[in-house]
């Protein structure tokens, strides 16, 4: 919970904006609250709320949110080695409560080199903190939605990416991660105009691929062209 608290500066305004936009778009308060309780996916909820308000069909809403949340497959791939031995009830719970913020906090704890067998409890603590704050902020937005003129125009949604940038920078170590972040960031800006934030999915996949290739080249590159040292130089 302590490790997750700094992220609340971005999450709470984001949740308030969702609640306010949802009711302003004609979504009943109960439905908006249920989205936060059962969907629990901030960016996907904002997109779904906009699509529902515009009269989009169910298939369009489901497919759009599906593509937006494809990044969770990447999260799952990196978390799998740490949680593979947990019972199914743990896996189902942690999967449902997985968010960008919790992933960022949990993966740092899992990667620490110690013998603690209870790191999944740390993961759970972050997840429950995020879930509680998202429900609270959503209902604050729903309650205040009618009295906030143009909630999207306040710019509060910038708090979340700003918070993420601040926490991401210290995690960038090595050339491969720098390449990954650079490629993903550049493409997310270049492809921002694509509908339904599909450019974000492309940016994530391209960044991961670029980082992976760079890591592979860093490992195999020095081996190419390696020659055995001559005898007089062998001691050096």
Mean pLDDT of 206-212: 90
Confidence of residue 133 (pLDDT cuts 50, 70, 90): very high
d(CA 29, CA 141): 10
Q: Is residue 230 part of a domain?
A: no
pLDDT of residue 49: 86
Q: Is residue 235 part of a domain?
A: no
Instruction: Provide the H-helix boundaries in 114-227.
Output: 119-144, 159-168, 175-190, 198-220
d(CA 141, CA 64): 24
What residue numbers bound the domain in which 22 lies?
5-160
Is the same domain home to 183 and 101? no
**Which of 160, 182, 204 finishes a domain?**
160
Confidence of residue 227 (pLDDT cuts 50, 70, 90): very low
pLDDT of residue 69: 84
Is the same domain home to 128 and 209? no
Residue 162 to residues 14, 81, 167, 178, 203: CA-CA distances in angstroms?
12, 30, 9, 18, 18
C-beta separation of 156 from 17 below 8 A: yes
> Is 70 or 210 the better-scoring residue by pLDDT?
210
Q: Is residue 140 part of a domain?
A: yes
pLDDT of residue 151: 61
Is the same domain home to 48 and 144? yes
pLDDT of residue 159: 66
Is the same domain home to 57 and 134? yes
Res 138 pLDDT > 80 = yes
Is the same domain home to 94 and 190? no
* Length reported for the chain: 236
Is the same domain home to 214 and 120? no
Q: Is residue 177 part of a domain?
A: yes
Is the same domain home to 134 and 192? no
pLDDT of residue 21: 86
Is the same domain home to 211 and 126? no
pLDDT of residue 125: 96
Is the same domain home to 84 and 195? no
Give per-residue pLDDT as tens, 42-59. 888 888 888 888 888 888
Mean pLDDT of 100-129: 92
Is the same domain home to 188 and 98? no
Is the same domain home to 144 and 106? yes
Q: Is residue 212 part of a domain?
A: yes
**Dihedral sign from CA coordinates of 30, 10, 103, 164:** positive
Q: Is residue 49 part of a domain?
A: yes
Model pTM above 0.85: no
Percent of the chain with pLDDT over 90: 36
d(CA 189, CA 203): 9
Q: Is residue 13 part of a domain?
A: yes
Q: Is residue 43 part of a domain?
A: yes
Cβ neighbours of 221 (radius 10 Å) = 10
How many structural domains does the chain have?
A: 2
């Amino acid at each position: 919970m302590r490790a997750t608290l700094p992220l609340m500066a971005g999450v709470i305004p984001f949740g308030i904006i969702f609640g306010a936009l949802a009711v302003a778009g004609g979504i009943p308060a109960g439905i908006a609250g249920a989205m936060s309780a059962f969907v629990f996916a901030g960016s996907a909820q904002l997109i779904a709320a906009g699509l529902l308000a515009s009269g989009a069909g169910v298939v369009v809403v489901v497919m759009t949110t599906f593509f937006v949340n494809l990044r969770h497959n990447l999260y799952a791939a990196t978390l799998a080695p740490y949680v593979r031995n947990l019972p199914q009830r743990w896996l189902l719970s942690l999967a449902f409560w997985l968010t960008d913020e919790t992933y960022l906090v949990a993966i740092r704890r899992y990667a620490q080199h110690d013998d603690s067998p209870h790191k999944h409890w740390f993961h759970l603590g972050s997840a429950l903190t995020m879930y509680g704050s998202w429900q609270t902020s959503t209902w604050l937005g729903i309650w205040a939605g009618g009295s906030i003129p143009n909630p999207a125009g306040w710019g509060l949604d910038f708090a979340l990416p700003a918070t993420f940038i601040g926490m991401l920078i210290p995690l960038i170590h090595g050339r491969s991660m720098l390449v990954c972040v650079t490629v993903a960031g550049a493409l997310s800006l270049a492809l921002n105009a694509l509908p339904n934030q599909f450019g974000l999915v492309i940016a994530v996949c391209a960044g991961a691929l670029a980082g992976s290739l760079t890591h592979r080249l860093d490992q195999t590159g020095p081996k190419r062209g390696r020659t055995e040292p001559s005898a007089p130089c062998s001691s050096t």
